[in-house]
Copies of this chain bind each other. A is one copy, B any other.
C-alpha cells in the first residue's frame, strides 16, 4: 500500500467526527503566513491555530516568489487578510546546495534548463529581509502595515523575529 492510501484512510476515519463544516472562506484572524514546505513545520501546531484562522502559503524555502505574491494578492484583495508573516527556519534544505548546481543538474539530466530561479540562500535572516523587501516592492499588495519576518528554530521550537 502506498503511503497516500494510508493518509486517505485516516482522513476518512477523522471525517466521522468532523465539526467545522460551517466555516467561511475568509480567514477569521485576517493573517496570511508564508513559510517553507519543510516537513518539520506544522503551522497550526506552532501557532495554536484553528481551522478557518489564517491563509497558509508554502513552498521550498518560504520564498516570496511571483506565485506567493499571486496568492497574497488574492488573500488580501478577495479574502480580506491584513497582516503577513514570512517565516523561514533553521537547518533549511535551501541553504545546503547551490541554485546554480541544481539548475545545471536538471539541465544535464533532462536537456532543459528550468525557467525559474531555484531560490536557494545562504543567510537565513538576510533572506527573510529580502523576502519582506519583495512584498514591500510589489505593486499588487495593498496592505503593508503589518508585514513581519521570523525564523523558526526546528531544534527548539522558538520563533524569533528578524529585525529590519
Query: Residues on A close to B: CB < 8 A?
Result: 2-4, 7-8, 10-12, 14-15, 18, 20-23, 25-32, 37-42, 44-49, 51-60, 63, 65-71, 73-75, 77-79, 83, 85, 91-94, 96-97, 102, 105-106, 110-112, 114-116, 118-119, 139-140, 146, 148, 150, 154-159, 161
Contact = CB atoms under 8 A, between A and B. Distances in A.
Copies in the complex: 2
A157 B21 contact: yes
B51 A37 contact: no
A67 B14 contact: no
A152 to B, nearest CB: 8
B38 A73 contact: no
Contacts of A59: 57-59, 67-68, 70-71
Question: Which of A18, A37, A66, A78: most chain B Cβ within 10 A?
Answer: A37
A39 B60 contact: no
A115 B114 CA distance: 18
A146 B4 contact: yes
Contacts of A4: 31, 83, 85, 146, 148
Contacts of A105: 77
